[in-house]
Amino acid sequence: MEMISRVLEKFKELFGDEGEIRSYFAPGRVNLIGEHTDYNGGHVFPCALDMGHYAVARKRADKKVRLFNMNYEDNGIQEHEITGLSPNDNGLWYDYQLGVLWALEQKGYSLDAGYDMVMWGDMPAGSGLSASASIELVAAVIAKDLFGLDISMPECALVGQYSENHYNGMNCGIMDQFASAMGKADHAIFLDTAALDYEYVPLNMEKKKIVITNSMVKHQLAGSAYNDRRRESEEALEDLQKVVKIDALGDLDDAGFQKYQDAIKSEVCRKRAHHAVYENLRTMEAVKALKSGNIKAFGKLMNESHVSLRDDYEVSCDELDILASEAWKLPYVIGSRMTGGGFGGCTVSIVEEDHVDEFKKTIGEIYQKKTGNEAKFYIADAADGARRLL
């Protein structure tokens, strides 16, 4: 627990060592397939990572929170009254913590005090691995534990999503928070986002590794474009609901989309709906393939997912396209696609175990030559979800 030891040392330096000090962890996530389907009533297939945010906290007697992030030491200690919080779209790390406290009270949970907290993350911000959800779930498990809140972990995920939607102004779906809250070691989560029904699926990838490649870029339009895609999907749904009884785009199958797609007035919105419908179908098919041991079929569906995200949903970028397309050329790569909201961040690839080092070297050299950026690589180990550690 070297990470927690470092955070605890900093906590004692800033806030003293008296009282009961507790420690927590909430992971980031990587999504294997099922992108931009979670707010369209579809299925997703993420796993929690062993990277995320570690936190040390102690309950206070008053209603103040004092927050410090070792990744952003120049920000200093952020001190706030939890009774006077109001939404903003600043997108700063502490806004994701404060948003959860605000959301808990909005949902009727009583916070009888505040807390002191020091946090440190070992995952890159802006990488598409959902650092924001990790921060939100750290706040949720701290509040759940310190204040004895009667709240389940799926409910914590919903509070995190609510806070990001309504406090931070990002209209995300439920996937990121759910994966961080409900992760299970060595498993991915097959989640029906419409009903919140879920199943843990073992990641039995014989002699293969899940490799995350960080493009090290994040384009400025990511936040606004994400909200645009959600609005465009909602417009497509409204048009379709005039001719067919559905609650979400994820309710349509191939035959239904082919029959009713002309009801969508805007060509752009029709493309968005095309992605949402077929990405949902791909995700269900991919999980079937994995369960049956057909990893090649799973990889093919990953590749198709990237093409759809690039062409129909238009959330990829040159850097992600280079990483994915160059990976497709390598015989030991089973599948590769962008993961996360898009416009930068990461790809996720399934690579034969014996060729992981070769993959890093080959892709790294090509990417640097073509973009001038140096990619970073991580092995994705599926991990448990947000929890108290000590």
Helix (H, G, I), strand (E, B) or coil at 352: strand
**What secondary structure letter does DSSP report for 386?**
S
Is 112 catalytic? The answer is: no
Query: What's the chain's length in residues?
Result: 390
Which residues, 6 or more positions from 229, have their beta carbon under 8 angstroms from its beta carbon?
36, 272, 313, 315
Burial class (CB in 10 A: 0-12, 13-18, 19+), 192: middle
Of 236, 266, 228, the C-alpha closest to 252 is: 236
- Asked whether the beta carbons of 237 and 249 are under 8 A apart, the reply is yes
User: φ and ψ at 201, to 5 degrees?
Assistant: -115, 120
Q: Which of 176, 239, 251, 312 is catalytic?
A: 176
Name the residue among 316, 311, 318, 348 with its Cα closest to residue 333: 348
Amino acid (1-letter code) at residue 312: D
Long-range contacts of the stretch 78-82 (C-beta < 8 A, 24+): 81/114, 82/111, 82/114
Whole-angstrom distance, CA of residue 307 vs CA of residue 301:
10
The pairs formed by 371-377 with CB atoms below 8 angstroms and a separation of 24 or more are 371/215, 371/217, 371/318, 371/319, 371/322, 373/215, 373/216, 373/217, 373/319, 374/216, 375/213, 375/214, 375/215, 375/216, 375/323, 376/124, 376/213, 376/214, 376/216, 377/211, 377/212, 377/213, 377/214
The owner of tokens 């907290």 is 117
Tokens at residue 98, please?
């404060």
Handedness of CA 74, 170, 175, 273 (dihedral sign): negative
Amino acid at 269: C
Q: Taking a C-beta distance cutoff of 8 angstroms, is the pair 134, 156 a contact?
A: no
Residues catalogued as catalytic: 176
